[in-house]
Structure 1
Amino acid sequence: MFIDYYETLEIGPNANSETIDRVFRYFAMRFHPDNRGTGDETRFSEIVEAHNTLKEPAKRAQYDIQYRENLKLRCELVEEITGNKGIEREVVTQAKVLSLLYVKRRQDVNSPGIGDTELERISGCPREHLEFHLWYLKAKGWIGRTENGTFAITVEGIDRASSEYRREPTVKLLDHDLHSA
């Protein structure tokens, strides 16, 4: 797990070595285990680790590469939340997976499952994203694994897919009625 040493020392990534040392000394005195008022051994260890990494130029350069990678991942998470890749798209993907498994079950009740690779190919959702949806749908009890390891829709999943299908036209009809008025 990545630890943000800049955050640990409450400094910015452009802080110079003097600032790093000054802030380290302040926190080291404050959180040293011998300090009866504010001592915190865990926090002290974190501060020492951060200081030891950031004070040495070679270690800091290596750490900064990891820091930028982590920062990029955090930015991607924020973009996914605020951009057009948000929860709405996730709901559509889950509905698509349920629909695929629904049709497969309806076509062949005795062999209702679709394998991971086939589900990835048909849904157009990459495996790393599909894993989340499969986990969620399984946790809700809407899909499950068959005896041969493929995914199949459950009775609860069929009920869910049916209820979503029945609700959608009603919502569109209500929306149309509101705009007509």
Structure 2
Amino acid sequence: MKRRVVLYHNIVVRPRNAFPFAAPAYTIRTAPGGNGMPDREPFVDFYEVLQVNPHSDLKIIESAYKHLAKIYHPDHDQTADVDRFSAVIEAWNVLKFPEKRARYDEIYRLHHGHPEKPVDEQLVSADVALGDAALQRNILMYLYKARRENFRGNGVGAYALQEHFGCSDDAFDFHVWYLRSKGFLEVTEAGTLAITVEGVDHVIALHQPVQPQRLVTDQSPHG
């Protein structure tokens, strides 16, 4: 399978095919009428459950399974989710076997032309948005540290940065686009990524203690 090639100026970056950094909630699609699949039997998109491309090889699928199973495991104090954990296990128990996956892929193709999701299902969840904000903050912190330790350096390679944070191609492109649009990040002449002056100011502002607001009392004389 060919990997997408992203070109930053004169540097060619070949991102790895990885699952997203922040795993959004999966969706369950119900088979439309008239395609031979009863509407009362919901079709579960196992690839969407595991947050992988349908063409991903078994190694990628297994990595995604282990990652998500660890996050949603019932014993995890902060991110336990029994329903999602069960869905991840169910998806893996099908996709890990070539014969089962082949049969599932036939059903998957029948649902590939499923109508677009309703608008309310297309909305980004609060967890995903907060995860994006946290990752963008961490990217800036990483670039801040790199700039501070080597002020005259050539920045950080985009591929190395993506590998460090484990972002998918689309997620990484989104974060780079956002941080560049805000003026916090720039692409150097060497094709690497570096924090800007605005980015440094933003990082410093994030670490400044919040000053409590003081009520202004009316001290004008009475009478």
TM-score, with normalisation over the residues of structure 2? 0.42
Q: Is the partner of 2:210 in helix, strand or coil?
A: helix
CA contact (8 A) 1:138 1:144 kept: yes
1:62-101 aligned within 5 A: 65-68=111-114, 71=116, 74=117, 78=121, 81-82=124-125, 84=127, 86-101=128-143
Distance 2:206 2:154 in 1: 21
| Structure 2: stretches of 5+ with no match in the other structure | 1-30, 36-108, 214-223
Q: Which has the higher contact order (CA 8 A, sep 6+)?
A: 2
CA contact (8 A) 1:102 1:158 kept: yes
Report the counterpart of residue 170 of structure 1 in structure 2. Answer: 210
CA contact (8 A) 1:104 1:112 kept: no
Say yes or no: does 1:14 pair with 2:44: no
Mean alpha-carbon deviation: is it higher for 114-123 or for 144-153? 114-123
1:31-70 aligned within 5 A: 65-68=111-114
Count the aligned residue pairs: 111
Q: Which has the higher strand share?
A: 2
Percent of aligned pairs with the same residue? 29
Q: CA deviation at 1:80?
A: 7.3
Q: Is the partner of 2:124 in helix, strand or coil?
A: helix
Q: Name the larger-Rg structure.
A: 1
Distance 1:111 1:80, change over 3 A: farther
Decide which of 169, 173, 181 is 1:139's aligned counterpart: 181
| Structure 1: stretches of 5+ with no match in the other structure | 1-11, 17-62, 175-181
Distance 1:146 1:97 in 2: 16
Q: CA deviation at 1:79?
A: 7.7
Distance 1:163 1:149, change over 3 A: same
TM-score, with normalisation over the residues of structure 1? 0.51
Which 4+ runs in 1 deviate beyond 4 A? none
Q: Which has the higher helix share?
A: 1
CA contact (8 A) 1:101 1:112 kept: no
